């Protein structure tokens, strides 16, 4: 991230018909930022952890009691953060508008006036309640502000010590999306924005049937735990008549997610952490949100033209299908599809295993806590799948603290889930390539056809690979791994070792 974000603010500008905003640079904010961080170059790129540490420091100054920090420093720390957040708010407006502008002619400029209302120059601090905005006039006197800057609202409501803490960028996006005027503006277009948990809570049977089997089990488990608690809330409504939050579909608590984790293995789904479960549920809800928008606007949401490469973090152009091709998936009959799946199984599975391992290692390397274990992933999985070692034995062999640490580092269940997901995705891409592109203009409204195709692919993979792999992984005793997944995993790990040894000899 560029450090200049802390000294450059985006301000709503109705006179700018093209952009709708102007960019203002603040020398005072830049000087304060550099002094606070010992002369950091404003053009310097910041790592994610460094960025977070900087924000924590600035927030601790901005949200401190007025008597403990000089008001000038407090206001300047806030100005740096206001600059940073203004960019996030602008991006959020562009993201929201991009979903609807095609049919409803709604542009991000129409949203900016509601949330990009910071004048970019008034010194602001917070009152002792942590919410009320106070301005500092030219005489240095502290007065109650006449209005509310949305940037300050974002910063005042940001929870530093929450176990489910979001990044400041994501928090700004969420607050922008939930802004009453933004919601009203979108609702006037017939496009209300439901929360993830509201969507999951009221999903209908017909939507459940269209989900992949694994996703359907996740939603059913969510209903079992979350909906029961909601019903209890309704029964206790008389005790909360003055609390409007009882009617909201709030984010599931950690204990609710834990209850779901305990129930999922009974349905044949293995997820290793509440964080991963939360991520999976959010992904499903996003799909439901897109389907809801699709049904209202009559056409699918546009997909980005670039895709992120997990290994490097860079964005590259996506390969687009040939829409002029006369060949479609319809040319694959049922028997041909079965033959195609059988012939492509090994290629798809090998590619998914390699991709998932690369992603897993990269994720560990970026973790401050587990980066030192990234090099032990390959030997760890060799012990697990090729030599039938238990996690306890692996922990000893790799000098780890205990089997729990080995489980967290390797996360075999998580890796298996990722390989399963990538295999389905890769098979669909392989089918698309083989048939020389999907006729998307004709297929855009045939959701049932595409859904059925994906379910056939997933059912085939589950039968051929993942049912046995899940059962194999679920046994706790030392054993020999013999599933097709284990065989292909060992083959990949052997080739990886051979390649590394060859490079060392050179």
Q: What is the pLDDT of residue 87?
A: 93
Whether residue 180 is contained in a domain is answered as no
Q: What is the pLDDT of residue 83?
A: 95
Give which of 199, 233, 442, 481 is closest to 325, Cα–Cα: 442
- CA atoms of 208 and 164, how far apart (whole Å): 27
- CA atoms of 34 and 54, how far apart (whole Å): 11
Report the percentage of the chain scoring pLDDT > 90. 19
Q: What is the pLDDT of residue 247?
A: 46
DSSP per-residue codes, 107-128: -HHHHHHHH----S-S-EEE-T
Q: Which of 63-77, 193-207, 288-302, 467-481 has the highest mean pLDDT?
A: 63-77
**446 shares its domain with 372:** yes
**38 shares its domain with 147:** yes
pTM metric for this prediction: 0.47
221 near 252, Cβ under 8 Å?
A: no
The range of the structural domain enclosing residue 128 comes to 3-169
Beta strands in 54-210 (DSSP E): 124-126, 133-136, 142-144
Q: What is the pLDDT of residue 446?
A: 46
In the predicted model, what is the mean pLDDT of residues 358-370?
A: 86
Residue 360 has pLDDT above 80, yes or no: yes
94 near 108, Cβ under 8 Å?
A: yes
Report the percentage of the chain scoring pLDDT > 70. 69
Residue 488 has pLDDT above 70, yes or no: yes
413 near 270, Cβ under 8 Å?
A: yes
> Which pLDDT band, with edges at 50, 70 and 90, does 413 fall under?
confident
* CA 399 remoteness from chain centre: 33
pLDDT digits (tens, 9 = 90+) for 73-82: 999 999 999 9
**143 shares its domain with 213:** no
**205 shares its domain with 162:** no
Encoded tokens for 324: 């002029």
Q: What is the pLDDT of residue 330?
A: 44
12 near 21, Cβ under 8 Å?
A: yes
In the predicted model, what is the mean pLDDT of residues 207-230?
A: 77
In the predicted model, what is the mean pLDDT of residues 249-262?
A: 85
419 near 386, Cβ under 8 Å?
A: no
Torsion of CA 332, 335, 337, 339, to 10 degrees: -130
Whether residue 318 is contained in a domain is answered as no
Q: What is the pLDDT of residue 161?
A: 72
Whether residue 188 is contained in a domain is answered as no
Instruction: Count Cα neighbours of 243 within 13 Å in the Cβ-side half-sphere.
Output: 10
In the predicted model, what is the mean pLDDT of residues 180-205?
A: 72
Residue 228 has pLDDT above 80, yes or no: no
Q: What is the pLDDT of residue 192?
A: 55
Looking at per-residue pLDDT, the higher value among 202 and 483 belongs to 483
**297 shares its domain with 331:** no
**99 shares its domain with 36:** yes
211 near 219, Cβ under 8 Å?
A: yes
208 near 219, Cβ under 8 Å?
A: yes
Whether residue 190 is contained in a domain is answered as no
Mean pLDDT (the chain, rounded): 76
Whether residue 315 is contained in a domain is answered as no
Q: What is the pLDDT of residue 152?
A: 95
Give which of 118, 31, 130, 28 is closest to 82, Cα–Cα: 118
Encoded tokens for 443: 């297929």
**425 shares its domain with 493:** yes
- CA atoms of 89 and 172, how far apart (whole Å): 6
> Which pLDDT band, with edges at 50, 70 and 90, does 245 fall under?
very low
Q: What is the pLDDT of residue 206?
A: 58
Whether residue 187 is contained in a domain is answered as no
Distance set, CA 70 to CA 73, 143, 367 (Å) = 5, 16, 36
- CA atoms of 271 and 418, how far apart (whole Å): 11
Give which of 174, 66, 70, 60 is closest to 126, Cα–Cα: 66
The region that residue 303 occupies, defined by phi over 0 for left and psi between -120 and 50 for alpha, beta otherwise, is beta
Whether residue 184 is contained in a domain is answered as no
Residue 297 has pLDDT above 90, yes or no: no
Looking at per-residue pLDDT, the higher value among 490 and 317 belongs to 490
Whether residue 182 is contained in a domain is answered as no
Q: What is the pLDDT of residue 59?
A: 92
- CA atoms of 324 and 440, how far apart (whole Å): 10
Q: What is the pLDDT of residue 506?
A: 56
**125 shares its domain with 252:** no
> Which pLDDT band, with edges at 50, 70 and 90, does 177 fall under?
confident
Q: What is the pLDDT of residue 481?
A: 82
Residue 165 carries which DSSP code? P
pLDDT digits (tens, 9 = 90+) for 92-145: 888 787 665 444 456 788 889 899 999 888 999 988 888 889 998 888 888 887
> Which pLDDT band, with edges at 50, 70 and 90, does 499 fall under?
confident
Residue 379 has pLDDT above 90, yes or no: yes
Residue 378 has pLDDT above 80, yes or no: yes
DSSP per-residue codes, 373-384: GGGGHHHHHIII
**89 shares its domain with 206:** no
Instruction: Name the β-bridge partners of 144.
Output: 134
Q: What is the pLDDT of residue 46?
A: 67
**145 shares its domain with 223:** no
Residue 441 has pLDDT above 80, yes or no: no
Q: What is the pLDDT of residue 451?
A: 57
- CA atoms of 29 and 81, how far apart (whole Å): 9
In the predicted model, what is the mean pLDDT of residues 268-287?
A: 85
Encoded tokens for 87: 């960019």
- CA atoms of 490 and 385, how far apart (whole Å): 7
> Which pLDDT band, with edges at 50, 70 and 90, does 191 fall under?
low
- CA atoms of 99 and 101, how far apart (whole Å): 6
What's the number of domains the chain is made of? Answer: 3
């Amino acid at each position: 991230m560029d450090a200049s974000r802390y000294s450059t603010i985006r301000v709503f500008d109705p006179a700018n018909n093209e952009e709708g905003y102007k960019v203002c640079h603040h020398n005072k904010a830049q000087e304060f930022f550099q002094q606070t961080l010992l002369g950091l170059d404003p053009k310097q790129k910041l790592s994610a952890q460094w960025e977070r540490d900087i924000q924590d420091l600035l927030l601790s100054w901005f949200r401190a009691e007025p008597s403990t920090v000089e008001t000038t420093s407090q206001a300047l720390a806030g100005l740096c953060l206001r600059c940073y957040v203004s960019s996030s708010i602008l991006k959020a407006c562009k993201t929201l508008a991009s979903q609807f502008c095609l049919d409803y002619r709604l542009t991000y400029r129409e949203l900016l006036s509601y949330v990009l209302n910071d004048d970019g120059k008034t010194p602001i601090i917070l009152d002792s309640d942590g919410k009320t905005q106070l301005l500092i006039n030219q005489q240095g006197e502290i007065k109650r502000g006449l209005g509310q800057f949305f940037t300050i609202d974002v910063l005042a409501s940001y929870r530093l010590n929450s176990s489910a803490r979001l990044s400041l960028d994501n928090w700004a996006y969420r607050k922008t999306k939930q802004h009453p005027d933004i919601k009203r503006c979108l609702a006037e277009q017939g496009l209300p924005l439901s929360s993830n948990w509201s969507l999951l809570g009221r999903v209908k049977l017909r939507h459940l049937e269209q989900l992949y089997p694994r996703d359907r089990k996740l939603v059913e488990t969510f209903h079992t735990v979350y909906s029961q608690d909601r019903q209890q809330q309704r029964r206790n409504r008389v005790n909360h008549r003055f609390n409007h939050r009882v009617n909201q579909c709030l984010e599931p608590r950690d204990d609710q997610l834990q209850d779901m984790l305990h129930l999922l293995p009974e349905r044949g789904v293995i997820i290793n952490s509440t964080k991963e479960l939360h991520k999976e549920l959010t992904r499903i809800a996003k799909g439901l949100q897109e389907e809801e928008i699709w049904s209202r606007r009559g056409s699918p949401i546009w997909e980005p033209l670039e895709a992120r490469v997990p290994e490097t973090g860079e964005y590259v152009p996506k390969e687009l299908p040939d829409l002029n091709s006369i060949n479609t998936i319809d040319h694959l009959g049922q028997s041909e599809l079965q033959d195609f799946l059988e012939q492509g199984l090994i290629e798809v599975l090998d590619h998914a295993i390699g991709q998932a391992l690369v992603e897993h290692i990269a994720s560990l390397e970026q973790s401050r806590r587990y980066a030192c274990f990234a090099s032990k992933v390959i030997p760890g999985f060799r012990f697990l799948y090729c030599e039938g070692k238990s996690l306890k034995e692996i922990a000893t062999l790799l000098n780890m603290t205990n089997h729990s640490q080995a489980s967290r580092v390797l996360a075999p269940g998580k890796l298996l889930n990722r390989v399963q997901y990538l295999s389905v995705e890769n098979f669909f891409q392989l089918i698309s390539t083989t048939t020389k592109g999907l006729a998307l203009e004709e297929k855009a409204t045939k959701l049932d056809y595409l859904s059925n195709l994906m379910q056939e692919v997933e059912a085939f993979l589950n039968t051929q690979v993942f049912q046995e792999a899940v059962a194999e992984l679920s046994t706790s005793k030392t054993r020999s791994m013999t599933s097709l997944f284990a065989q292909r995993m060992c083959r990949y790990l052997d080739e990886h070792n051979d390649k590394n040894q060859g490079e060392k000899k050179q």
